């Protein structure tokens, strides 16, 4: 729960619907080598706009390993290379270490834009 979080960017609207489950059908993910599947995180799911370590002090920079600290959920956890990088796994299976600003501000990274 405190290690990696799944990208819920296009799934968020359905989390609260009882009995309804949604996921990514891998063959329909456009450009899987450039789409974030999961990454270092504080919680089991992460979103693009909670990935900015400068927004509200909710990132790893502010809390380090203090899991009891009050913070929002869905935060990407930048725990590598002087607390500025997160490991990101892509839908094609490869993993990269990405700097926080390339994780936070790249909308194409977050939206798998599944084919109809």
Q: How many domains does the chain have?
A: 1
In terms of Cα–Cα distance, which of 55, 31, 13 is closest to 109?
Answer: 31
Is residue 47 situated within a structural domain?
yes
- 90 vs 103: CA distance, rounded Å: 12
Is residue 57 situated within a structural domain?
yes
Is residue 116 situated within a structural domain?
no
pLDDT over threshold 60, residue 14:
no
User: Residue 58's pLDDT band (boundaries 50, 70, 90)?
Assistant: very low
Is residue 83 situated within a structural domain?
yes
- 11 vs 22: CA distance, rounded Å: 7
Residue-wise pLDDT tens digits, 69-102:
555 567 788 888 888 899 999 999 999 999 988 9
Is residue 20 situated within a structural domain?
no
Give me the domain span that covers residue 59. 4-15+27-110
Is residue 93 situated within a structural domain?
yes
Is residue 102 situated within a structural domain?
yes
Comparing 48 with 38, the larger pLDDT belongs to: 38
Contacts 24+ apart (CB under 8 A), 105-110: 107/48, 108/31, 108/34, 108/35, 109/34, 109/35, 109/36, 109/48, 110/7, 110/9, 110/35, 110/36, 110/47, 110/48
Is residue 69 situated within a structural domain?
yes
């Amino acid at each position: 729960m405190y290690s990696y979080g799944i990208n819920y960017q296009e799934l968020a609207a359905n989390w609260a619907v009882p009995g309804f489950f949604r996921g990514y059908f891998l063959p329909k993910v456009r450009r899987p080598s450039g789409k974030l599947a999961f990454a270092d995180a504080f919680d089991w799911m992460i979103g693009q706009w909670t990935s900015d370590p400068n927004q509200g002090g909710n990132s790893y920079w502010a809390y380090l390993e203090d899991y009891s600290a009050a913070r929002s959920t869905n935060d990407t956890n930048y725990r590598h290379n002087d607390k500025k990088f997160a490991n990101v796994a892509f839908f094609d299976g490869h993993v990269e270490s990405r700097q926080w600003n390339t994780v936070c501000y790249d909308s194409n990274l977050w939206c798998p834009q599944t084919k109809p």
